[in-house]
Chains A and B, each alone.
Chain A
Amino acid sequence: MTDYAYVRTEMAQEAPPPASEVGVFGWVRKNLFSSWINTVLTLIGIYLIWIIVPPIIEFAFVNAVWTGENREACVGVHGACWAYVDAYLPQFIYGRYPADERWRVDLVFFLFAIGLIPMLIPSVPFKRENIIYMLAVFPVVAFILLTGGDFELSGFVFSDSTAAFWIEYLILTIVLAALVYAMARAGENDPRPGLITVVAIMAAIAIVLGVVSIDFGLEDVETDVWGGLLVTLVIAITGIAASLPLGIAFALGRRSKLPIIRLVSIIFIEFWRGVPLITVLFMSSVMLPLFLPEGVTFDKLLRALIGVALFAAAYMAEVVRGGLQAIPKGQYEGAQALGLSYWQMMGLIVLPQALKLVIPGIVNTFIGLFKDTTLVLIIGLFDLLGMVQSSFTDPNWSTPTQSHTGYMFAAVVFWVFCFGMSRYSIYMENRLHTGHRR
């Protein structure tokens, strides 16, 4: 056998990639300086960062004043006056809520947090109890704590005493139950399930009304003195809680086969989506009192809440409709073939899939709603931005950098909430992304 010495018998060692292609240097070359256009862009980008970021850091941290009693501390300083934010922090959080009663607001924040945090973490058990707590217990408790409870219930027909109210309530319950019984009889059906539902709903409402009317010895706090982050959160959370079910209802209405229901839904949605929120708020603050009979007045905050909730519901309806349209027709037909009723089909088959598809849109609407709460300051409610804005009139703290500091603080607070919501929605979207990703 001839021995060919020039034939390789084993693989040559792989040469390492050139130093200019790997590591930090390679990455920089590839991503930042791959061509002369890219180099110019990188330099422009670095220049932009250079002229924007250092001044902000200098303003917010390096030159900032952290402690001080009044404006003396911040005069002549070219930095943020955090001492002013520190002094005003209670106002930014509670508004003009009486100082002695602020523990009630803190308690509500705390109760909300212990309900919300386990809801948001998917691995925590007892989700059903948690939802009941958030939807039934927390709102009532929060309402009593914030307003002071002790609501007076007065009858409409007989007299305006509390006893008359309960008698009338009982009569109403009996009438409703009789109606349901008669309808079931006419349909030759078992009347029991309908009766139980009616009695249960009326009893639940009665319990809520009863609890709200109990005097817990809490001092009454009018909504006029609420303010700051409290108002922002109350409007945002109530708006979110009200707009989702309303939006779903209008989305279903718009997809309904019944012409009048569809028409009413379309008009409602297009009307609210076509006008700016500020005119809606003006409407709720100026026009709504005209619509009500003489003597009936609504709380200013409640009026704004109604406006915000209806406005957000219209946007929510369009988002949900997008999801409903994305569900293939086979799902509807399959559900019908199984003999499910309309509400079973929607509740068990279509909506769970549709809502899952539009989570980003729903959260976007929530974020929009949260940002839009600032608009209530135009109709004279003091949300967080309203409190910041009104603090500028205080001569005790008026310095050239006061407005910058105040806006920076408000911007950071809003940003944290909105950015947090958008990150959570991305996380949830990935988690629920089952079945569609291959």
Chain B
Amino acid sequence: MAVQDTMGAESARASVFYDPKVRGIFFQILLIALLVFFGYQIVTNTIANLERQNIASGFQFLNTTAGFSIIQSLIEYSEESSYGTGLIVGFLNTLLIAFIGIILATVLGFIIGIARLSPNWVISRIAYVYIEIIRNIPLLLQIFFWYFAVLRAVPNPRNSVELPGDIFLNNRGIFAPKPIFESGSGLAGIALLVAIAAIFFIRHWAHKRQEATGQQFPILWTAIGLLIGLPLIALIVTGFPIGVDYPELKGFNFVGGLKVTPEFMALLLALAIYTAAFIAEIVRAGILAVSHGQTEASHALGLRQGPTLRLVIIPQAMRVIIPPLTSQYLNLTKNSSLAVAIAYPDLVSVGGTILNQTGQAIEIIGIWMVVYLSLSLLTSAFMNWYNQRMALVER
């Protein structure tokens, strides 16, 4: 008790000013006061400025007719559609480029990352040079290169480059045959779903059987057989109800078929190639992070090279790879906003057009920020969930 008393006397003699608690509260109040002051300034200034420029704030403009066309749209859109529909079109285009870009970048990135570790000198050097060149050149420059120097420089529709499989490449885009599903092809789709469900079931059963008896079941070949076989049988039964719409040169341009715009191709190529360089480095780091002892122990247990890689190395490497990989996916999604530079109609590009037409800067930028922020937060939530699932369970 005595000790406590003297200590109490000591702290009483020291000033309140030097009490860390008081100091902390003081600085936090100061911070809040500053933030409130700035917030107040911004709000009052903005209201005054908007009034002066005669801009009505609010989201009513979303229902107004847009009056501009969009070169690529996943949903029904015309010049008579509203601004709101235009923004949705843009958002869907962002998702489309991000989705396909992520798949391509992952495939390319894993190939290059593994090539970088190859004992083959030529292959690993090529991967190294690829990574060092692509990573150190700005993405925007690469997008411009693909768009202006490559895809815009190919011949006009009359002199298109013809690729095998009735695919035509010209400066209006890439034109490919488009399958048309006629009535009756629904059965094939159902067959595909059944095949997928069956594969899951067989996989589960094979695991159980292996745990019980030690016997292995060729899951991979069964899966491939089911995936191809079932829809094929369904198609044969219904008599191939799939037509093909071939692109045809009419006048100055191609009509029909599946059209991929040069804007989409340029952005996709640039994003996939650029992000793949970063993914390759992540994959390399992940594989190197699994210590060599794991490989040796696995060999000592009698596992061959293939199962060692599949059952020992990759599951452990994935633990290191997944978090930075997710952030690369997010980067790719955010980088797809550079579409505005080559006028691929993504969210930012369409929003920019609307912003110029209506002057609703705060609303448009607010929509951008909310959309991208929610994408980020959703991705990081997913990442945390996945991380927890994959994390090392220690005993």
Taking beta carbons and an 8 Å cutoff, which residues of A are in contact with B?
A: 31-32, 34, 38, 41-42, 44-46, 48-49, 183, 186-189, 257-261, 264, 270-271, 273-279, 282-283, 286-287, 289-294, 367, 371-375, 377-378, 385, 389, 392, 400, 403-404, 407, 410-411, 414-415, 418-419, 422
Are A371 and B376 in contact (CB-based, < 8 A)?
no
Residue of B with least CB distance to A367: B136
Given known pairs A371-B139, A415-B133, the reply for A292 and B348 (CB within 8 Å) is no
CB proximity of B1 to chain A, nearest CB, Å: 26
A375 to B348: give the CA distance in the assembly, Å.
Answer: 13
Least CB separation from A45: chain B residue: B122
* B22-48 interface with A by 8 A CB criterion: 24, 27-28, 31-32, 35, 41-42, 45-46, 48
Minimum CB–CB distance from A47 to chain B (whole Å) comes to 10
Chain A residue numbers with a CB within 8 Å of B149 are 403-404, 407
Q: Which candidate, B171-179, B210-218, B333-341, B384-392, is the interface stretch facing chain A?
A: B333-341
For the complex of A and B, 8 pairs with smallest distance between CB atoms:
A418-B136, A45-B122, A274-B376, A187-B17, A276-B334, A371-B138, A276-B337, A260-B28
Given A279-B372, A291-B45; 7 other pairs, CB 8 A cutoff: A31-B119, A44-B123, A186-B17, A187-B15, A371-B138, A385-B138, A418-B136
Q: Are A31 and B120 in contact (CB under 8 A)?
A: yes
List residues of chain A with CB within 8 A of the CB of B246.
Answer: none
State whether the Cβ of B137 lies closer than 8 Å to any Cβ in chain A: yes
The one of B28, B49, B126, B136 in contact with A290, judged by C-beta atoms closer than 8 angstroms, is B49
The dominant DSSP class at the B interface is: helix
Q: Which residues of B have CB within 8 Å of A32?
A: 120-122
Question: What are the residues of chain A within 8 A of B32 when measuring CB–CB?
Answer: 260
A279 touches B337 (CB 8 A): yes
Please give, as numbers and ranges, the residues of chain A lying within 8 Å of B148 by CB-CB distance: 392, 403, 407
Interface presence of B144 (CB below 8 A): yes
- Are B17 and A275 in contact (CB-based, < 8 A)? no
Q: Can you list 25 A-B contacts (CB < 8 A)?
A: A31-B119, A41-B122, A42-B123, A46-B122, A270-B377, A271-B369, A273-B376, A274-B373, A275-B376, A276-B334, A279-B368, A279-B369, A282-B352, A282-B355, A283-B369, A289-B49, A290-B46, A291-B41, A291-B42, A293-B41, A293-B48, A375-B140, A377-B341, A403-B149, A410-B141
User: Which residues of B are found within 8 Å of A392, using beta-carbon distances?
Assistant: 148
Query: How far is A257 from B27 in the complex, measured between Cα atoms in Å?
Result: 12
Provide the bound-state CA to CA distance between A41 and B120, in Å.
Answer: 8
B159 at the interface (CB under 8 A from A): no
A261-B28, A291-B46, A293-B45 known; A276+B335 contact, CB < 8 A: yes
Residues of chain B touching chain A, judged by Cβ–Cβ distance below 8 Å, are: 15, 17-18, 24, 27-28, 31-32, 35, 41-42, 45-46, 48-50, 52, 118-123, 125-126, 132-133, 135-141, 144-145, 148-149, 153, 334-335, 337-338, 340-341, 348, 352, 355, 361-362, 365, 368-369, 372-373, 376-377
Residues of the B chain whose Cβ atoms lie less than 8 Å from the Cβ of A419:
132, 136
B42 to chain A: closest residue by CB: A291
Report how far A187 CA is from B362 CA in the complex, Å: 47
